[in-house]
């Protein structure tokens, strides 16, 4: 890889308001810096052509885009998921891809726990009841199950899932989980009872998703799987929107099959105007904001910039994926 003034560090897109850390990394390496707000493949291709290092948020990093990078280029993804990056193409082309998997863990775990607490305590129903002039508990909710009598299931046992499970264990919940890449002894050491995927779904009063978006996990929570959940269960998803069949979820909320859901992620973002989720009851939604706090955003940008600087200097990457 070339060094110094011949190098380019390009930010394809960002939603943070500034790129101070990223610009500092380019300056430290003596590299040129450019930032964009790319959305389409063509915009991204034009922005990154011949770049040695790219920091990417949501712009599409397709085979065609990756092929336009300088030989041996590095792509740093803001955040954990890399579903907008064609990893197979990156391997074929010799492009090094890395992510930032360890920022905002507490924020996302807090967000999932907040959804869980609000839904399990039926806060939306109580608030709506009072606004409508009610005061009798029975006129606002049908039943409230104590958390200490509830089973919380996690699909995936990564950093965030473990942090969420630890929070829910404090409330006395039984914690069960599934992760094909985690040994049973490790799960138990984290306080999570390992079960098969379907067994977790079938016994969890509260099901929280912490899996990546892959062809295997797409719509893994669909109508047939929702039908296997306990009647009145709660679904929480702060991982990837594609894990859930949103039409099936909306129907389950409207029918009362599920008593509530909390979603921070959606199959299409922003949420389409015509989405059936918009009028689904007992649904808390946030705009892919679970990671957000002033500290976590700064940490994300700093860690991404530090990885970019390693890429510019030809040093080993901290969180290489390809």
Q: What is the mean pLDDT of residues 115-138?
A: 97
Q: Where do you find CATH 3.40.50.720 in the chain? A: 4-103+295-313, 105-285
> What's the pLDDT at 305?
98
> What's the pLDDT at 166?
98
In 91-216, which ranges are E strands? 96-98, 151-155, 174-178, 193-194, 206-209
Q: How confident is the model at residue 143 (pLDDT cuts 50, 70, 90)?
A: confident
- Report the C-alpha gap between 1 and 149 in whole angstroms: 58
Q: How confident is the model at residue 6 (pLDDT cuts 50, 70, 90)?
A: confident
Q: What is the DSSP string of 26-81?
A: HHHHT-EEEE----SHHHHHHHHTT-SEEEESSS-B-HHHHTTSPTT-EEEESSS-
Q: Which of 240, 257, 282, 310 is catalytic?
A: 240
Superfamily of domain covering 4-103+295-313:
NAD(P)-binding Rossmann-like Domain (3.40.50.720)
- Report the C-alpha gap between 35 and 185 in whole angstroms: 46
Q: Which of 228, 269, 278, 315 is catalytic?
A: 269
Instruction: Note the CATH number of domain 105-285.
Output: 3.40.50.720
Q: What is the mean pLDDT of residues 234-261?
A: 98
- Report the C-alpha gap between 213 and 38 in whole angstroms: 22
In the chain, which ranges are E strands? 8-11, 32-35, 53-56, 74-77, 96-98, 151-155, 174-178, 193-194, 206-209, 233-237, 258-263, 283-285
DSSP state, residue 132: T
Clarify whether 267 is annotated catalytic: no
Burial of 289 (0-12, 13-18, 19+ CB in 10 A): middle
- Report the C-alpha gap between 89 and 38 in whole angstroms: 20
Q: Looking at the DSSP assignment, which residues form a beta bridge with residue 263?
A: 237, 285
Q: What is the mean pLDDT of residues 179-188?
A: 98
pLDDT at 3 over 60: no
pLDDT at 2 over 90: no
Clarify whether 143 is annotated catalytic: no
Q: Which of 162, 210, 288, 310 is catalytic?
A: 288
The answer to whether 187 and 193 have CB atoms below 8 angstroms apart is yes
Q: How far apart are the first and last CA of the chain?
A: 17
> What's the pLDDT at 170?
98
Clarify whether 22 is annotated catalytic: no
CA distances from 30 to 23, 176, 277, 304, 322 (A): 10, 50, 49, 17, 26
CA distances from 201 to 28, 70, 132, 191 (A): 50, 46, 35, 18
Beta strand 258-263 with 8-11 is: unpaired
Could you report the per-residue pLDDT of 37-78, keeping only the tens digit for each?
A: 999 999 999 999 999 999 999 999 999 999 999 999 999 999
Number of CB atoms found within 10 A of residue 60's CB: 19
Could you report the per-residue pLDDT of 97-119, keeping only the tens digit for each?
A: 999 999 999 999 999 999 999 99
Q: How confident is the model at residue 4 (pLDDT cuts 50, 70, 90)?
A: low
Grouping H, G, I as helix, E, B as strand and the rest as coil, residue 127 is helix
pLDDT at 5 over 60: no
CA distances from 173 to 73, 193, 214 (A): 47, 12, 29
> What's the pLDDT at 130?
97
Nearest to 188 by CA among 162, 206, 167, 150: 162
Q: What is the mean pLDDT of residues 179-195?
A: 98
pTM (2 decimals)?
Answer: 0.89
Q: What is the mean pLDDT of residues 87-106?
A: 97
């Amino acid at each position: 890889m070339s060094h110094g003034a011949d190098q380019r560090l390009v930010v394809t897109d960002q939603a943070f308001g500034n790129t101070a850390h990223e610009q500092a990394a380019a300056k430290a390496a003596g590299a040129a810096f450019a930032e964009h707000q790319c959305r389409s493949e063509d915009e991204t291709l034009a922005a990154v052509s011949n770049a040695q290092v790219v920091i990417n948020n949501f712009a599409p990093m397709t085979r065609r885009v990756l092929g336009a990078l300088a030989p041996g280029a590095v792509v740093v993804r803001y955040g954990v998921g890399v579903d907008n990056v064609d990893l197979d193409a990156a391997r074929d082309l010799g492009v090094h891809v890395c992510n930032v998997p360890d920022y905002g863990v507490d924020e996302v775990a807090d967000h999932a726990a907040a959804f869980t607490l609000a839904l399990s305590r039926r806060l939306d129903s109580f608030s709506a009841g009072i606004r409508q002039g009610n005061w009798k508990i029975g006129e606002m909710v049908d039943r409230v199950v104590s958390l200490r009598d509830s089973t919380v299931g996690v699909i995936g046992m990564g950093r965030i899932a473990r942090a969420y499970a630890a929070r829910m264990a404090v409330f006395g919940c039984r914690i069960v989980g599934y992760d094909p890449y985690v040994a049973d002894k490790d799960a138990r050491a984290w306080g999570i009872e390992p079960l098969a995927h379907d067994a977790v779904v079938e016994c969890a009063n509260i099901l929280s998703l912490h899996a990546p978006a892959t062809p295997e996990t797409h719509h893994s929570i669909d109508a047939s799987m929702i039908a296997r959940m306990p009647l009145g269960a709660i679904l929480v998803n702060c991982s990837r929107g594609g894990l859930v069949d949103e039409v099936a979820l909306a129907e389950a909320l409207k029918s009362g099959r599920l008593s509530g859901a909390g979603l921070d992620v959606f199959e299409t973002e922003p949420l389409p105007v015509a989405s059936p989720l918009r009028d689904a009851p007992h649904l808390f939604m946030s705009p892919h904001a679970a990671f957000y706090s002033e500290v976590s955003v700064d940490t994300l940008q700093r860690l991404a910039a530090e990885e970019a600087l390693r890429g510019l200097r030809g040093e080993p990457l901290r969180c290489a994926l390809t």
